[in-house]
Amino acid sequence: MRLRPLARADLPSGSVSLARFLIGTVLVHEDAGIQRIGRIVETEAYPPGDQAAHAYIGKTARNASLFLERGHAYVYLSYGIHWLFNVSGEGAGIGGGALVRALEPLAGLDRATNGPGRLTVAMSIDRRFDGVDLCARGPLWLGSIERPPARIVTSKRIGISKAVDRPWRFAERDNPYVSR
DNA sequence: TGAAAGATTCGCT
DNA sequence: GCGAATCTTTCAG
C-alpha cells in the first residue's frame, strides 16, 4: 500500500465538494507506535447556510473548528456519549464541513467503524483532536492510497431534523462498511 | 439558572 | 421498532 499525506491544495474548497472527495481517502492516527488506518467510505456535507449544520448559528466555542481553513478536524460530543469527527471544508472564517460517518478498516482497527460514533472509538479520536490540522505533520492526518476510483452514490442525510431533503450524503457503492 | 434538544448507539420487545 | 443512556450546548426566563 502506497500511502502519502494529502496537502491542503489537494482538497477541494467547499464542504459538499470536500465530502465527496473524501470518499476513498484514508484517515491515519499514529499514537505511540500504533498506527490506525481507515479508508473513508461514507460522509455527509454541512455547508454554509445549511440549517442542519452546527455552523448555521454562527461561530461559537463548540463549533469554532468549522471556521478554520479547510482540512482541520472538528470533533464534538453527540448525545453526551459519542464523539463525531468532521473535516472543515471552507475558507478561514467561513463555517462548514463534512461529517465522516464510516470507515473501511485497513490497519490497526479492531472495532466496528460503520457509524460516526463508532469509528471515533476505533480510531481513538476524541476532543483532543478538535482543531487539529489534518494536512500538517501530526498524529492525525488525511492521506491517499493507490486504489481504483471509488464509485460514489448520493442520498439524503441521516439523523437530522432540518433540511432533511438535501442530497448531501455520499458513500462508496456496495462497500460493506457503510453504515446501516 | 433551568430546561430542552441533539449530525448516535445499544438493548429489549 | 422504540426508548434509554448521558452530557454539552444553546436559548429562554
The mean per-residue pLDDT over the stretch A127-143 comes to 97
- Is the pLDDT at A180 greater than 90, yes or no? no
What pLDDT, on the 0 to 100 scale, is given for residue A120? 98
Residues at the strand C interface (Cβ < 7 Å): A 54, 57, 60-63, 76-77, 79-81
Q: Can you say how many angstroms the Cα of residue A30 is from the centroid of all Cα atoms in its chain?
A: 17
Which nucleotide is at minimal CA–C1' distance from A160? Answer: B7
pLDDT at A155 over 80: yes
Using a cut of 0.85, tell me whether the model's pTM lies above it: yes
**DSSP states of chain A:** --EEEPPGGGSPSSHHHHHHHHTT-EEEEEETTEEEEEEEEEEEEE-TT-TTSGGGG---TTTGGGGSSSSBEEEEEETTTEEEEEEE-S-TT---EEEEEEEEEEES--S--BSHHHHHHHHT--GGGTT-BTTSSSSEEEEEE--PPPPEEEE--SS-SSSTT---EEEETT-TTS--
Band of pLDDT at residue A149, cut at 50, 70 and 90: confident
The distance (Å) linking the CA of A80 with the C1' of C5 is: 9
How large is the average pLDDT for residues A96-121?
97
Nearest-nucleotide field for A61 (CA, C1')? C9
Whether residue A9 has pLDDT greater than 80: yes
Q: Report pLDDT digits (tens) over A42-55.
A: 999 999 999 999 99
Question: All domains of chain A, ordered by start, with CATH?
Answer: 3-172 (3.10.300.10)
pLDDT for residue A122 is more than 80: yes
Q: CA A50 → C1' C7, Å? A: 25
